[in-house]
Structure 1
Amino acid sequence: MNLNVYFATLARYNVWATQRLLEAVADVPDDGYRCDAGLFFRSIHGTLAHLLVGEHQLWFRRFAEGVSPVVALDADLVPERQALAAQLLAGARRWEPLVASLPPERFDGLLNYTTMRGQPASLPFAATLGHVFNHGTHHRGQITAALTALGRPCPELDMVYFLQTQPHQESPA
């Protein structure tokens, strides 16, 4: 399998799922949006704020710029919810062009970075990139659980539903 194509698909899925989730939380009253729902980052807002930090402030910069910023994983960098939603969606849209710019051999290499504790780390590039998209899926699932607990409708975010909206690509023979 061509890893550029695979990760481009994951990047497009990430945009699709992020957009659908943000639409679902847009009309949640602020008390429900910010209440402690028992999530790891407490609230819907706290979890979205964490996604901004993890996906865009940390991992994107590690992959795209080769830098490892230090920022708290629970930092609320954008407290205003519409601005946070806009930044999450804009950030999600940056992954596909990054993936497209990578030479195929890059996926076989390592990602060298500095951990949040200041320790050097070196992980398989492709698997770590997969972690970024898996991490977003994990936290979107937590938010859908919070929406359910609030009695709110949840969007269907399974990747198979996204794939059904995409043109089928034939595998090379």
Structure 2
Amino acid sequence: MNDTLELFRYHVWANKRVFDHLKKLPDDLYRRPLKSVFPTISDALAHIYSVDNTWISIMSHESPEDIYAAMTSSREEVNDATLDAFEAYFDKITARYEEFILNHQSNLETISEYPLKFGVLRANYNDLIRHVVNHGTYHRGNITAMLRQMGYEGISTDYGFYLFELKR
């Protein structure tokens, strides 16, 4: 299997573990305000989702206006989402990424230029997908810390646990 697709599937697995864990906790917990990295767990999830949407738009070489619109609309569409609806939005972006990766298997290492707000980024698709996964990992860690801050256990989403689960 393609290494990039496998790494992205880890990202999907980890997000799913977070959703499954949150569903076992009090219903309102993911919207409970606290002083932390994000005001709520919902905001952390919305941020992961918005960034995932933004990077797929960037990799698809959409116009800067379309990229900004995708970033804004993705944040708005999950604004009042239930946990189940949130998960469905993540499923939708997952399908888009998997299709993108499969359609670009032959050029995942090709360097492209991406004009971004802070300058031109020169990178290949593999690098950008690694960034998306790394970004999600970082913020899932924030969610675990936020849960602990509220007196609840987090859920491990380490890559090693993913590998362990695959090899069972």
Please tell me the TM-score bracket, short chain as reference. 0.7 to 0.9
Is contact 2:144-2:154 (8 Å) kept? Answer: yes
Counterpart in 2 of 1:35? 32
Could you tell me how far 1:31 is from its partner in structure 2?
4.3
Counterpart in 2 of 1:161? 161
Matched, 1:122 2:121: yes
The CA deviation string for residues 10-54 of structure 1, in whole angstroms up to 9 with x for no partner, is 111011111110111124335432233333332100111111211
Which of residues 36, 56, 60 in structure 2 aligns to 1:64?
Answer: 60
Greater shift, 78-87 or 65-74, is seen at 65-74
Which of residues 3, 9, 23 in structure 1 aligns to 2:6?
Answer: 9
Which of residues 41, 46, 49 in structure 2 aligns to 1:44?
Answer: 41
Counterpart in 2 of 1:171? none
- Gaps (5+ residues) in structure 1? 168-173
Structure with more of its chain in helix, by fraction: 2
Number of equivalences: 161
Counterpart in 2 of 1:170? none
The runs of at least 4 consecutive aligned structure 1 residues that moved more than 6 Å come to: none
Counterpart-to-counterpart distance in 2, 1:14 and 1:38: 26
Paired-residue identity, %: 24
Change in Cα spacing, 1:74 to 1:90, as seen in structure 2 (3 Å) is closer
Coordinate RMSD, CA, aligned = 2.7
- Give the counterpart letter for 2:50 in structure 1: V
Q: TM-score, normalization: structure 2?
A: 0.80
